[in-house]
Chain A
Amino acid sequence: ETGVTQSPTHLIKTRGQQVTLRCSSQSGHNTVSWYQQALGQGPQFIFQYYREEENGRGNFPPRFSGLQFPNYSSELNVNALELDDSALYLCASSLGASGGNIQYFGAGTRLSVL
């Protein structure tokens, strides 16, 4: 086990709603990255938080936002849900924000938007 936990495991929402996904990082890790993985695709980088600050962002609209807390756990918020937001959302924690750091993934939250 990686020690990275995500909640909830599954979620069903309707178009236009808002959702919050949560991630607890591995003990000692100060960095959390979030990814969206559509069926049959590789994970797409959404953003990274390092010591409570956004440290990098992929090509996702502003309705995807996040937070990192002092204990380094993190939230991903998605507003105005669209059907295409249906995917597996993964968080990964690492010790440091360098690209060379190994990322440890949680089991993900599977979001379905109807």
Chain B
Amino acid sequence: EPEVTQTPSHQVTQMGQEVILRCVPISNHLYFYWYRQILGQKVEFLVSFYNNEISEKSEIFDDQFSVERPDGSNFTLKIRSTKLEDSAMYFCASKGGTYQPQHFGDGTRLSIL
């Protein structure tokens, strides 16, 4: 069964550094998402991406965040200057159609030191 894959599984970064989290969505999917889950808290929506542009974003997704689909397969989340509070699990998801379920990757655990 096709899967969403995320790399790396764990990323450790110094505060203030840039970090790029990578995702390979399911190949025929059209909608792409990033979510964040701070330890012990609920899953929070960050951003959705469709037709090569951001379709929705939350208040969490400020100017420090950006997303890109640099080629036909990858979908990346960049945090420009990381803060301690960016430490969380970051999940990528994709779906094939408007009312289809989202399929999630296993997440990248981001630890900011």
Our verdict on whether A and B bind, yes or no, reads no
